[in-house]
Structure 1
Amino acid sequence: MQDTVAVALITSLSTLAAATLTGLVGALSTRRQLAHQLTVARQESVERWATRRDELRRDAYVGFLGACDQAYRQLDRRWLEPGGGEPVPGFDEAYAAMRAVDEAYNLVLLEGPAEVAAVGRAVLTSLTAEHADQRRLGDEPGDRGVPLRDRHRERWLAAIEVRTNHRISFVDAVRPVLGHDG
């Protein structure tokens, strides 16, 4: 009878040990799977955040370029109109377009990076300088029936070149940020 009890005890202990070992192996496997799933979830979250950041940046950059285009159109109108496109008292469309560029630049500042914001600032500064130059040139004595472009052709051509160079610099700064090589 003692042999039977010993066999039963050994069988019970070996079954209990096997169950414990199986549970331990299962727990370790589950732990590894959960750790992997957590790592994958974190990577996906980082990728979603990066994608969203890139979308926000692209929208900010496109908005800035669009506002610049509108300001350039207003500045062009002032260059081409007789009398220098003098503003109507209380409202100046070119100034309103300049404000829109300033507001779009605020988004570029927020979205960054600093290199793009610096080049955007140069674009904004050149627009402001051209606007001020037009106002100053429009106030000079001369034939008001002749457009500023014709009265100050060299300045007009220089302004167009500055615009083009600053725009290209901005796009060149933005492309690597958005992952475009060229």
Structure 2
Amino acid sequence: MQDTVAVALITALSTVAAAALTGLVGALSTRRQLAHQLTVARQESAERRATRRDELRRDAYVGFLSACDQAYRQLDRRWLDAGGGEPVTGYDEAYAAMRAVDEAYNLVLLEGPAAVDSVARSVLTSLTTEYADQRRLGGEPGEATVPLRDRHRERWLTAIEVRTKRRLSFVDAVRPVLHGGE
């Protein structure tokens, strides 16, 4: 009978050991699977955040360029105005366009990165400078029938060159950011 008890005890212990070993292997396997799923979930979440950030940046950059284009159109109209001593219509539209650029610039500031902020600020500064020059030059006494562009040709050409360089600098700064840079 002792042999039967010993065999039963050995069988029970080996069954318990096998169950414990199976449970341990199962727990380790489940842990590994959960860790992998957590890693995948974190990667997917990071990718979604990066995609969303890229979308927001792209929208901010496109909005800024669109606002700049609108401001450029208003400034171009002012260069073609005859001007003179009286207030000329078009300043209100140009001012509104400049305000839209300011608002679009705020979004660029929020979305970053700093390199793009800096270049966007230089675009905004050049627009503001051109607008101020037009206001000053348009208020000078002179031939009221001659457009600002013709009266101040060198300034007009310089303004066009500056705006083109600044705009291209902005686009050059934005491209690497949108194509996997920062």
Instruction: Normalising by structure 1, report the TM-score.
Output: 0.95
Q: Using the TM superposition, give the Cα deviation of residue 81 of structure 1 relative to its aligned residue in structure 2, in angstroms.
A: 1.9
Instruction: Give 2:115's aligned amino acid.
Output: E
Task: Measure how far apart 1:2 and its partner are.
Answer: 1.1
The 5 Å alignment of 1:146-165 reads 146-165=146-165
1:166 aligned onto 2:163: no
Within 5 A, what are the aligned runs for 1:80-159? 80-83=80-83, 86-88=87-89, 92-159=92-159
Give the equivalent residue in structure 2 for 1:8.
8
Distance 2:125 2:10 in 1: 88
How large is the RMSD of aligned CA atoms in angstroms?
A: 1.7
Contact 1:78/1:86, CA 8 A, preserved across alignment: no
Tell me the distance in 1 between the aligned counterparts of 2:11 and 2:121. Answer: 81
Q: Name the CA distance, whole Å, in 1 between partners of 2:74 and 2:25.
A: 73
Distance of 1:38 and 1:55 partners within structure 2: 25
Q: Does the 8 A contact of 1:63 with 1:104 survive in 2?
A: yes
Q: Amino acid of the residue matched to residue 92 of structure 2?
A: D
Structure 2: gaps of 5 or more residues: none
Distance (Å, rounded) in 2 between the aligned partners of 1:132 and 1:10 = 97
Q: Is the alpha carbon distance of 1:180 and 1:72 closer, same or farther for their aligned partners in structure 2, counting shifts above 3 Å? A: farther
Question: What is the CA distance between 1:87 and its match in structure 2?
Answer: 3.8
3-state secondary structure, aligned to 1:92: helix
Query: Can you list the C-alpha shifts for 1:147-176, whole angstroms capped at 9, x where unaligned?
Result: 101111111111000000000000000011
Query: Which residue in the other structure is 1:46 paired with?
Result: 46
Cα distance, 1:44–1:170 mapped onto 2, change above 3 Å: same
Q: Which amino acid aligns with 2:128?
A: T
Identical pairs, percent: 82
- Does the residue aligned with 1:36 lie in a helix, a strand or coil? helix
The CA distance in 1 between the partners of 2:53 and 2:156, in whole Å, is 38
Ranges in structure 1 where 5+ consecutive residues have no aligned partner: none
Query: In structure 2, what is the Cα distance between the partners aligned to 1:71 and 1:80?
Result: 14
| Aligned-partner residue type, residue 155 of structure 2 | R
Q: Which residue of 2 aligns with 1:178?
A: 178
Say whether the 8 Å CA contact 1:87–1:93 is kept in structure 2.
Answer: no
Contact kept, 8 Å, 2:116 with 2:174, in 1: the verdict is yes
Instruction: Give secondary structure in 1 for the equivalent of 2:16.
Output: helix
Structure 1, 118-127 or 75-84: larger mean CA deviation: 75-84
CA deviation after TM superposition for structure 1 residue 88, in Å: 4.0
CA contact (8 A) 1:74 1:97 kept: yes
